[in-house]
Amino acid sequence: MTSKESLSFSQAIQATQSLIEKMNSQQLQETDIEQEISNIVNTKNGGRGFFVAYLTSELSLPDNPSKGIINGLKSSVDVVSELLVKNLAMSSAMTVTHSRNKDISNVRGSQKVCRRTTNLIQKIELDSIKQELEKLRNTIINKDGEYNDFLERWEYDVEQKKAIQEAITNILI
């Protein structure tokens, strides 16, 4: 795959799953990992597919992202910043939803995605991510802002928004 190719959402999921398997069996150098991730996340659909597969993987590899993973994600700052912030919000809110439904398995899954997302945000250390987190937090506090459409689309309630705010605060401290 070259950086000129644009992956569909499902192709990006498949490419990421294949990449994770190769990384897990130590078949790739860090520079190869960086290049493959850069190729996957260079579009919004690619980025969405990458994070779906990476953050939900049953393997432990995503719990400790390597330099190649971090650098690959840094190659598409705008796409990655927005998607990490939205993944943090969604996983935080879904932890609340699954808790209400007493669905322990999915609570654990949402907590894992939230933990992995938080870890990536902290390791990537991009100002653009912090700015997006601030925008989301301000939208929740002021009940208006750049993330209004996102929050309304998912119909997050007060408790879910509070969980999102807490996740943001834990990162921005």
- Using only C-alpha atoms, what is the Rg of the chain? 16
**Residue 133 confidence class, pLDDT cut points 50, 70, 90:** very high
- The model's pLDDT over 80-131, given as tens digits with 9 standing for 90+, comes to 999 999 999 999 999 999 999 999 999 999 999 999 999 999 999 999 999 9
Tell me the C-alpha distance between 102 and 46, whole Å.
33
Tell me the C-alpha distance between 32 and 2, whole Å.
12
Tell me the C-alpha distance between 79 and 101, whole Å.
32
Tell me the C-alpha distance between 159 and 153, whole Å.
16
Instruction: Determine the average pLDDT of the residues in 63-67.
Output: 95
CA distances from 77 to 21, 125, 128, 134 (A): 25, 11, 7, 16
Token pair of 26 as six digits: 């130590």
More confident residue, 34 or 1: 34
Give residue 37's pLDDT: 97
**Residue 14 confidence class, pLDDT cut points 50, 70, 90:** very high
Mean confidence (pLDDT) of the chain: 94
Residue 48 has pLDDT above 70, yes or no: yes
Tell me the C-alpha distance between 163 and 13, whole Å.
27
**Residue 3 confidence class, pLDDT cut points 50, 70, 90:** very low
CA distances from 111 to 13, 40, 101, 107, 155 (A): 20, 25, 15, 6, 20
pTM over 0.75: yes
CB 77 within 8 A of CB 41: no
Closest residue by Cα to residue 132 from 88, 167, 56, 81? 81
Residue 1 has pLDDT above 90, yes or no: no
Residue 153 has pLDDT above 90, yes or no: yes
Residue 68 has pLDDT above 70, yes or no: yes
Tell me the C-alpha distance between 117 and 149, whole Å.
22
Tell me the C-alpha distance between 167 and 4, whole Å.
35
Give residue 6's pLDDT: 82
Strands (E), the chain: none
Give residue 5's pLDDT: 63
